């Protein structure tokens, strides 16, 4: 069959044309209809945005911050009025209860706990320390390495050790000379021998073989250096709380020294005071005391804070061999090795680990907010406050927890303010640009009047004037309203300019010719064409609102403590000692504000580039 001449000529032309687009052995097709698929504007924007790695990084980081702040604050509630002054300005760190594994093999003589650390005297006579260092307490002096130690105790920020020969060593915080033996006490020790030691909040004490107690350090306010005459010379044991020292004499009678009028004194039963019930051991929390008699019966008195007077089930019929106290919780061990714990459980210090349920406990030690137990097999368990990941503030509050809840406040204020300003700006911009004439003139003059109001002076004036009249929630609403109502003119002008250009286009003229209502034209035909500008403006304005709220709260006219926000958490930066010594109190909230504002700005810039028609043509 003879080939058609016309078809033959077309094939020849096609081969010649294809040869013009041949590079080496690879042929480039002239037409590739598979790559000419039409993308919708939304997909084009998403595709362009994904290409911007910096914008994607900012989006991911901002989403993570939202999840972290709102999810974390929902999972971990906060008590705004709860403080722990003894834990103030604790540096970031964990591991308060991470007992050295070596103690499990060498045995434990004593364990004592400070605010962020613990010390132990091992069965081999060696001193072990763990936790987060404060005032170099974890650096044990080399001079005591060769000494035969019999006991070691810890105050809040210092440690005291006693040798078999009655020699006393101390190290750590020495603001009130509590970490060094005074000259007059040294003279006493030449005549008497120290047989026991105690340590409290910035004070130290020794008990001598003559039944006398000597205390030094921070004692002026509480008069802890004045020992009752009826007890001095007959003291068997002394235990310390923050403001008092509880005394037990050789006759089983209990006395008290230090701050007067506390529940330890006023609520002490008469049969404890006069020695009708002869106690053989005592211990004390902040304002509650406990003791056991020779038959192992437990007695508790003082303040019922954290239900310290409510004994755990089964303990009343048990024979108690040891009782120990932390700052707000008790632990006791009975003759069968069963461990009891009750009182404050804020840091789970009164929650006995499940591993100890079937173990026989031979020794227990309750510290400030930590608890320890040694089993019959020699294994040491520790639980309770294991530290603050991001440190604590000047009131001993967990900074990580306050950053979570403060971030929720700061980010919510910024979001609501932007939403208000966007709604107002969008409405006024659409009306002004579409209708023009006297409506445009009136609305733009009104926008200029609003722009003339300075936000910070107005917010500060209202905050000062309404101080005491508004609740915290009402004050937050006021800040959000002021931020939103004052910041809309910029967006309104931007939208007006776009509307002036859009309303003259053919599709708008066609819609008018068809008799479509103005409201429908604005909302269904013009608004979709300018929505990209609105979205970009919202992201960029959000960062500005976030920074404005932070600045206002930093100055003290926004969110007021104890309610946290990133702004008022920066208040510490106004004090030179905080900047020098407690960097986590101002750097961490500042970093949160910086990251949140920066990530939103990056996302806004990425959206602006992705929605730019010129960028789409590249």
- Let me know: does 486 contact 458? Beta carbons within 8 Å: yes
Give every CB contact of residue 598 below 8 A, 6+ residues apart in sequence. Answer: 58, 543
Select from 541, 521, 543, 517 the least CA-distant residue to 530: 521
Residue 389 has pLDDT above 90, yes or no: yes
What per-residue confidence (pLDDT) applies to 15? 58
Look at the block and give the residue holding tokens 């709380």. Answer: 241
Q: Say how far apart CA 182 and CA 192 lie, in whole Å.
A: 15
Give every CB contact of residue 527 below 8 A, 6+ residues apart in sequence. Answer: 430
Report the chain's C-alpha Rg in angstroms.
Answer: 37
Strands 320-325 and 298-302, sheet pairing: unpaired
- What is the rounded average pLDDT of the residues 75-85? 89
- What is the rounded average pLDDT of the residues 465-474? 73
Look at the block and give the residue holding tokens 């105690």. Answer: 198
**In Å, what is the CA distance from 454 to each residue of 297, 450, 461, 538, 542?**
71, 9, 11, 21, 18
Lowest mean pLDDT among 345-354, 467-476, 608-617: 608-617
**Sheet of strand 339-343, all strands in order from the earlier edge strand to the far edge:** 320-325, 329-334, 339-343
Residue 4 has pLDDT above 60, yes or no: no
Percent of the chain with pLDDT over 70: 92
- The backbone torsions φ and ψ at residue 491, rounded to the nearest 5 degrees and listed phi first, read -65, -40
- What is the rounded average pLDDT of the residues 240-262? 93
What per-residue confidence (pLDDT) applies to 481? 85
What per-residue confidence (pLDDT) applies to 401? 94
Residue 12 has pLDDT above 70, yes or no: no
Q: Is 19 exposed, middle or buried (0-12, 13-18, 19+ CB in 10 A)?
A: exposed
Q: Nearest 5 degrees, angle CA 324-CA 378-CA 110?
A: 40
Helices (H), 234-318: 263-266, 270-273
Give every CB contact of residue 584 below 8 A, 6+ residues apart in sequence. Answer: 91, 92, 390, 391, 399
What per-residue confidence (pLDDT) applies to 170? 95
What per-residue confidence (pLDDT) applies to 38? 61
pLDDT, one tens digit per residue, over 537-573 is: 888 888 888 888 888 888 777 788 888 999 889 887 7
What are the domain boundaries of the chain? 47-76+401-616
Cα–chain center distance at 398: 4
At residue 40 the predicted structure's pLDDT band, cuts being 50, 70 and 90, is: low
- What is the rounded average pLDDT of the residues 329-336? 96
Residue 14 has pLDDT above 70, yes or no: no
Lowest mean pLDDT among 171-180, 205-214, 505-514: 505-514
What per-residue confidence (pLDDT) applies to 614? 56
Lowest mean pLDDT among 50-54, 152-156, 309-313: 50-54
Count of residues making up the chain: 618
Helices (H), 291-436: 399-435
**Which two structure tokens, joined as six digits, stand for 130?**
């763990």
For 192, the enclosing helix (H) or strand (E) is: none
- What is the rounded average pLDDT of the residues 48-62? 90
Residue 204 has pLDDT above 90, yes or no: yes
What per-residue confidence (pLDDT) applies to 25? 47
At residue 454 the predicted structure's pLDDT band, cuts being 50, 70 and 90, is: confident
Residue 379 has pLDDT above 60, yes or no: yes
Strands 370-375 and 361-366, sheet pairing: antiparallel
Residue 511 has pLDDT above 90, yes or no: no
What per-residue confidence (pLDDT) applies to 297? 95
Q: Say how far apart CA 26 and CA 21 lie, in whole Å.
A: 9
The whole model's pTM is what?
0.81
- What is the rounded average pLDDT of the residues 421-433? 90
Residue 457 has pLDDT above 90, yes or no: no
- What is the rounded average pLDDT of the residues 400-425? 91
Q: Nearest 5 degrees, angle CA 120-CA 125-CA 131?
A: 25
Please give the span between the terminal C-alpha atoms of the chain, in angstroms, as a whole number. Answer: 52
Q: Is 381 exposed, middle or buried (0-12, 13-18, 19+ CB in 10 A)?
A: buried
Q: Say how far apart CA 15 and CA 8 lie, in whole Å.
A: 11
Q: Say how far apart CA 373 and CA 367 lie, in whole Å.
A: 11
Residue 615 has pLDDT above 70, yes or no: no
Helix (DSSP H) and strand (DSSP E) numbers for the chain: 19, 25
The CATH code that applies to domain 47-76+401-616 is 1.10.3720.10
Give every CB contact of residue 424 below 8 A, 6+ residues apart in sequence. Answer: 484, 485, 488, 492
- What is the rounded average pLDDT of the residues 422-440? 89
Q: Say how far apart CA 551 and CA 594 lie, in whole Å.
A: 12
Average pLDDT for the chain: 87
- Let me know: does 289 contact 302? Beta carbons within 8 Å: yes
- What is the rounded average pLDDT of the residues 580-609? 90
What per-residue confidence (pLDDT) applies to 546? 87
What per-residue confidence (pLDDT) applies to 3? 53
- Let me know: does 560 contact 544? Beta carbons within 8 Å: no
- Let me know: does 413 contact 545? Beta carbons within 8 Å: yes
What are residue 293's DSSP bridge partners? 279
The DSSP output letter for 84 is -
- The backbone torsions φ and ψ at residue 503, rounded to the nearest 5 degrees and listed phi first, read -70, -15
Percent of the chain with pLDDT over 90: 57
């Amino acid at each position: 069959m003879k080939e058609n001449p016309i078809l033959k000529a077309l094939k020849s032309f096609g081969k010649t044309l294809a040869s013009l687009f041949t590079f080496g052995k690879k042929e480039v097709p002239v037409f590739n209809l598979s790559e000419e698929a039409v993308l919708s504007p939304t997909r084009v924007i998403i595709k362009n945005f994904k290409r911007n790695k910096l914008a994607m990084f900012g989006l991911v980081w901002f989403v993570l911050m939202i999840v972290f702040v709102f999810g974390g604050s929902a999972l971990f509630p906060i008590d705004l009025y709860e403080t722990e002054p003894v834990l103030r300005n604790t540096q970031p760190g964990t591991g308060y209860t991470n007992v050295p594994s070596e103690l499990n093999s060498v045995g434990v003589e004593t364990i004592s706990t400070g605010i962020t650390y613990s010390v132990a005297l091992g069965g081999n006579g060696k001193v072990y320390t763990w936790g987060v260092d404060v005032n170099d307490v974890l650096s044990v002096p080399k001079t005591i390495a060769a000494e035969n130690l019999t006991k070691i105790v810890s105050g809040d920020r210092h440690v005291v050790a006693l040798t078999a020969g009655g020699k006393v060593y101390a190290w750590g915080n020495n603001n009130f000379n509590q970490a060094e033996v005074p000259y007059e006490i040294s003279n006493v020790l030449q005549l008497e021998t120290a047989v026991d030691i105690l340590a409290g909040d910035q004070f130290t004490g020794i008990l001598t073989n003559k039944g006398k107690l000597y205390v030094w350090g921070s004692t002026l306010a509480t008069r802890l250096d004045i020992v009752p005459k009826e007890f001095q010379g007959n003291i068997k044991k002394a235990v310390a709380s923050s403001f008092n020292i509880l005394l037990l004499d050789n006759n089983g009678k209990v006395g008290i020294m230090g701050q007067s009028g506390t529940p330890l004194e006023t609520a002490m039963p008469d049969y404890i005071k006069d020695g009708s019930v002869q106690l053989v051991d005592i211990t004390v929390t902040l304002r509650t005391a406990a003791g056991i008699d020779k038959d192992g019966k437990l007695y508790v008195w003082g303040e019922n804070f954290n239900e310290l007077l409510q004994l755990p089930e089964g303990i009343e019929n048990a024979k108690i061999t040891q009782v120990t106290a932390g700052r707000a919780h008790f632990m006791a061990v009975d003759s069968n090795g069963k461990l009891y714990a009750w009182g404050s459980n804020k840091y789970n210090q009164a929650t006995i680990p499940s591993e100890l349920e079937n173990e026989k406990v031979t020794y227990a030690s309750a510290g400030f907010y930590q608890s320890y137990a040694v089993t019959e097999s020699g294994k040491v368990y520790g639980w309770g406050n294991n530290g603050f990941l991001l440190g604590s503030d000047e009131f001993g509050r967990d900074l990580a927890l306050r950053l979570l809840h403060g971030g929720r406040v700061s980010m919510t204020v910024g979001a609501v303010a932007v939403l208000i300003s966007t709604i107002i700006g969008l409405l006024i911009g659409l009306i002004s640009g579409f209708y023009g004439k006297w409506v445009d003139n009136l609305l733009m003059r009104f926008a200029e009047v609003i722009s003339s109001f300075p936000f910070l002076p107005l917010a500060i004036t209202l905050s000062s004037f309404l101080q005491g009249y508004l609740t915290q929630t009402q004050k937050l609403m006021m800040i959000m309203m002021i931020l939103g109502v004052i910041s809309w003119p910029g967006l309104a002008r931007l939208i007006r300019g776009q509307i002036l250009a859009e309303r003259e286009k053919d599709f708008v003229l066609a819609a008018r010719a068809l008799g479509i209502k103005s409201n429908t034209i604005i909302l269904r035909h013009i608004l979709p064409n300018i929505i990209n500008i609105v979205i970009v403006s919202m992201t960029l304005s959000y960062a500005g609102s976030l920074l404005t709220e932070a600045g206002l709260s930093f100055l003290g006219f926004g969110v007021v403590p104890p309610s946290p926000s990133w702004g008022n958490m920066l208040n510490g930066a106004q004090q030179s000692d905080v900047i020098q010594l407690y960097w986590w109190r101002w750097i961490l909230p500042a970093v949160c504000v910086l990251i949140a504002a920066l990530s939103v700005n990056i996302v806004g810039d990425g959206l602006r580039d992705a929605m730019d028609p010129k960028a789409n043509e590249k």
